[in-house]
Structure 1
Amino acid sequence: MPLFASSFARRTIAFLTAGVLALLAIVAVSAWLSVRTAQHAEEAVVERDIRALTTNLLAATIDAETGQRGYLLTGEARYLNPFERAQPRLRGDVAALRKLVAGDPAQLAAVDELSEVLDAKMAELTETIEQTKAGQRDAAIQTVLSDRGRLLMEKARTQLAHLISTAESRVAARLEAVTEGAEILTWVTAAGSFLIVLFAAGASWTVMNYTRELMAARIELQALNAGLEERVAERTEALTRANDEIQRFAYIVSHDLRSPLVNIMGFTSELEAAMKAVGPYVAGDTTLADKARLATEEDIPEALRFIRASTGKMDGLINAILKLSREGRRELRPEPVDLVTLFKNAAASVRHQTDEVGAEIAVPSSAPALVTDRLAMEQVVGNVVDNAVKYLARERPGRIVITTGETTRRVHIDITDNGRGIAEQDHERIFELFRRAGAQDRPGEGIGLAHVRALVRRLGGDITVQSELGSGTTFRIDLPRRLRVNENSTTR
């Protein structure tokens, strides 16, 4: 019979539940009483400190007044020692007292009022001392006889006495609460011990009867686990097959892309060899046109450099795809990345397009230190720069500016262009796979920015866009200064 279908099981569960609830209640009450007792004890200590500081303030004020009177009567500077010692004591004790009563608005207000009275009293004492030092002893005596100092002292005594009385009454109340809490805790502990003994006896009695139904449930659970493991194995096999198919697809696509790339690279080698053969001939024949000479000396070498830069980049990306196909996944490899060099390489790879439209790319002369995956960063920056060139406005000279910034733990890269811009409703759309925004007059499949966002997020960062239609666009790439790689940090 299943465990929860029997009346015995229901009784057992009810018994155990009641016992557990009783124990939880005992623990909760004991914990509450312990915390309450500790709070009262701590508050009593604080009130005692308040009383001690208040008493010290009264003594320091009396010392200051004693020093003043001795000096006024004798004119000897040695009588000022109590006054001079009292000044820092008063400041320190008032600050400490204010800190202790910070959580009690009424007490804090009383301390603030006391501080004002003490400041006024010390000002009156200082005034008479300074008058005496200046030879105006009669004026100082008149100041004393004006009763201003006496009234201030009486007011200070009254306020100090009130603070002392309040502190003493609170100490007594806290001590009484501590005693009461200790008594309650004793009774709760005794009752808890009794309930624990009852619970232990009940648990011992139920173990024998519970074991039989537990064994039946265990057998049933083993059967369920066997079925679950079989289903997991089937799902794992299906996922493995799907992954193998994806790897085969990546391998085939990579080879189909690499074949024409190899032809292009071979063609650039032939062009370079032809240029080497034609160069000496052109240099020795003065009858050839300057245009032909310019082509052999500048245009063809420049074109070869452009082709090599672009094909080299393509070859690196395709080789990365081939490696991904062979290894199943590519681990992110943090390394120091020279951002300035990376920006220059990205600009060089699109120089042919920028020269055609008369655009320029401004690269910073320095950049923050960054430790991240180099290949991923090349893909991210290259994609964004290529996008900026692709969507420059025809009606004005194109300009793309790359800037950087940093905080303690983050580095950001801003790539700003003065191109056609992006409508506000399309700011998120452009990051969706196979989705494009604006006029569809440029080649593309809508993969680039989706791939960029995925890469940036794998690097622990994010990419955002700020743009207005017709006013240009700024892409901000925000990254951690140092990439932290764990076992799941792979680019799939």
Structure 2
Amino acid sequence: MLQTALKNARTPILLMGAGAVVLATIVATSISLSVQTAERSKQIVASRALRSAASEEMQTLLDAETGQRGYLLTGQREYLLPFQTARDRARSVLNRLEKLAAADPRIEKRVGELRPIAEDKLDELQSTVELFTAGRRADAMEVVNSGHGKAMMDAARSLLNTITDESEARVQDQLNALNRSVLMLRSLTVAGGVAIAIFVSFAIILLLRAVRDAVRARVTVEKLNATLEERVQNRTAALTQANDEIQRFAYIVSHDLRSPLVNVMGFTSELEVGTATLQKYFEAGDPAAADAAKEAACRDLPEAVKFIRSSTAKMDRLINAILKLSREGRRDLMPERIDLGKVFDAITASLAHQISETETKVEIAPDLPVLQTDRLAIEQIFGNIIDNALKYLQPGRPGHLTISSHEARGFVRISIADNGRGIAEHDLERVFELFRRAGKQDRAGEGIGLAHVRALVRRLGGDVTVRSKIGEGSEFRVLLPRILPKEQSAPS
């Protein structure tokens, strides 16, 4: 009988070994993709810095030319200070541009071509100022009218625009690569999770059969029940403590993505421990080990499978959240005329049931402005904020929601104030982080709503902030341009 049990145990052990190989592949691929993501993020930052330096150099050359023209036209020396400041800054920015371009031979070549042109332009500006200062106005104007300075400025502008475009193309390439990495990780995780679940399911079935035949002759059900509850409680406490530790240190997206894998690895160890317990029992033939063997087959291994399935499902949710944000970042914005008053009327109508249940009074200012922006983004932004306001009202107190606006310098600030629970001061910025939630966790959610809101608002060229006091309520302020800038319409 013992030899039969040992023979039956070999197959589930092999199946669990195959599951461990699949898991190791997932972990190795995840680590590799994380390293690639970090490297691509550095490249994106460098490309954006290069693009910013190119724009700054163009603006500085224009400032220098403006100061020179002002001095030549008016003769007033107060124009010299802006000219001199811009002239010195142009050389400083050009030096910085050369350092940033060193990593890309193609852009480095462009900057090398720009150097003599920019220097020539600055020298031309300096020479006209010196001629004018020396009283040789006609000579200074002759230099200006020769067209040489304009040709240099046109050439510099062309090169700087090319550098800016190439830097933007590099940023887009890296973003596309990041999206491909996320899709690859998601596919691998789902496939690996399914494979592990299949391997472990077959292993459990075979192990249960083997253990059932061996345990019937050696131990009673009463003895198993006498020790089972204590062991389950101890293991549950250990797992709870491990999960709390993971949550305490999970403060960036990369760790949130690894956390489910860590859980999967931990419960695979449980499978290995259970397998070792069974193997020890079958090899030693010790009746005293039958309790532990049956417990491993009937309790530990099914529990491990359950948690492995839960962890892979969590990873899928997190990856889907990242993909959702990624898709929003790549979607072309479609500007159209939007009446904010009608938008808020539609949102409150769709949430009429929640408003009625919470006895919430909603006050919408009658003079809300009209924007030229993307409708879908606007509906998602304010829909999320109002839904959160209704979700986190103070229990036992009727809700009060106030929506107003203020316009200034081409921007509109929309204020959404509530009398809900409020947010602690140290969590005011944290609530906008991906997968982060604040306060009492008694509402369903993954912590992506406000992160999505901030991403959309910034995509529209604005910003979102929050002011709050515990027990008094919160006020979300969304600052948006009245007209969506053209550069915001393309995917970022």
Question: If the length of structure 1 is used for normalisation, what is the TM-score?
Answer: 0.39
Which structure is larger by alpha-carbon Rg, 1 or 2? Answer: 1
Q: Relative CO higher for 1 or 2, CA cutoff 8 Å, sep ≥ 6?
A: 2
Question: If the length of structure 2 is used for normalisation, what is the TM-score?
Answer: 0.39
